[in-house]
Amino acid sequence: MKFTDVFLQTSTKILVFIIMTFSIFILFAGHHNPGGGFIGGLITSSALVLLYITFDLQTVRDIIPVDFNQLAAGGVIVSVLTGTASFLFHVPFLTQTFTYVDLPLLGNTELASAVIFDLGVYMTVIGTTMTIITSISEDEK
């Protein structure tokens, strides 16, 4: 018997956008409020898990052609490069700084270098979690 999950598929198509937006908000709110790269990555991977549950492994792999191993490695590289970039300014490893910049659309915005480190943590968490889940789910019965 062929199941068609119309309710689940239609609600997933709306909910994935809301969860992704919430995860990006959590990622950038982590400097002054609760949140940060780790929990943002976990929420993004929960949105991806919802896609994997609703559709199947091959369909999601076709619409999101991301190798999650390479994403985890890229996150680690971004974090390490953020730490070593402080050597260019003759300060110790992993020194962070911030400044206020007038952006065209956002106005006077605080830009911190810790956000780039958080972005590396975010990519690493997504890559590790999705590698674990997809490699468990694609074994033979």
Partner 1 sequence: MIFETVLITALCILMLAILANLYRVVKGPSSADRVQALDSVGINLIASIAVFSVLLHTHAFFDLILLIGILSFIGTVAFARFIERGVVIERKR
Q: By C-beta, is 47 or 78 nearer to partner 1?
A: 47
- Site residues, partner 1 (CB under 8 A): 3, 8, 15, 19, 22, 26, 29, 33-35, 39, 43, 46, 49-50, 52-59, 133, 137-138
Cβ at position 90, least distance to partner 1 in Å: 38
Q: By C-beta, is 90 or 141 nearer to partner 1?
A: 141
Cβ at position 104, least distance to partner 1 in Å: 29
Cβ at position 95, least distance to partner 1 in Å: 28
Cβ at position 114, least distance to partner 1 in Å: 19
Query: What is the 3 state secondary structure string of the chain?
Result: CCCCCHHHHHHHHHHHHHHHHHHHHHHHHCCCCCCCHHHHHHHHHHHHHHHHHHCCHHHHHHHCCCCHHHHHHHHHHHHHHHHHHHHHHCCCCCCCCEEEEEECCCEEEEEECHHHHHHHHHHHHHHHHHHHHHHHHCCCC
Q: By C-beta, is 55 or 113 nearer to partner 1?
A: 55
Q: By C-beta, is 1 or 103 nearer to partner 1?
A: 1
**CA neighbor of 126 nearest in space, from 17, 56, 49, 60:** 49
